[in-house]
Structure formats: structure tokens, C-alpha cells
Amino acid sequence: MNYLTTDSSPKFGAEFKKISLLDIDDNTLELAMELYNCIPLSILKHYSSLNNMGTLDICLMVMLSNKEWHTRLTHPMTYVSHEDIIHDFVGLANDDEHFLPRI
């Protein structure tokens, strides 16, 4: 089975490490690419180097491990600011137990 990440990922929890490529459909990949376009490249590169994975993989992992947030973000009637998306992405990528998403 193919995995996007390895067990040596230092930041994310166990549920974040073992997501099969079979779990990713075309819609999820398209939405991850949209998220990728919203987040500054410097932030993506930072979390990419911390977790030893690609920048798009970081977006996929954040979306797949935070399905409620992903659903709220991608709902057609959701209007959010760019700053809120970045704020939430950084908090979710840090896996901070005290983090409260804005979305």
C-alpha cells in the first residue's frame, strides 16, 4: 500500500501518518490544490521540511486529518478571509491541542 508520509514524521499524530493514497479522490486532491494556492509558499515549505513531506502533501494531510474543518472550508456558502485560512492552516499543521480554528 502506498502512503504519503513516513513513520518518522515528527509533528503529526498517528492518524496523520497512515493515510492511504486510495483515500484520496479527485475532488479531495483538487480541493487540496486550492488550499495549496491559498497558503504562502514560505509556510508550506516550513511545514514540509519539518515533516519531511512535500508541500502539497501537507495540504492533503491537514484536510484529511481535519474533516470537519475541511467540510466547513469547502462548503459553497462559506465566506472566509485569507487570513483566517492561513491562521487555521498553521494551527492545524502544528497540531496544537489549545488551537481554536476560526473557520
Q: Which residue has the higher pLDDT, 67 or 83?
A: 83
From CA 94, how far away is CA 97, in angstroms rounded?
9
**Position 32 in a domain:** yes
The predicted model gives 53-77 an average pLDDT of: 91
The predicted model gives 20-28 an average pLDDT of: 77
**Position 10 in a domain:** no
**Position 99 in a domain:** no
**Backbone dihedral angles phi then psi of residue 3, each to the nearest 5 degrees:** -125, 150
pTM of the model: 0.78
Range of the domain at 52: 26-94
**Position 100 in a domain:** no
**Position 6 in a domain:** no
Q: What is the DSSP letter of 11?
A: S
In this prediction, residue 68 carries a pLDDT of 92
Q: For residue 20, give every residue at least 6 positions away whose Cβ sits within 8 Å of its Cβ, in sequence order, or none.
A: 1, 2, 3
Number of domains the chain is built from: 1
In this prediction, residue 11 carries a pLDDT of 52
Banded model confidence at residue 1, pLDDT cuts 50, 70, 90: very low
**Position 83 in a domain:** yes
**Position 103 in a domain:** no
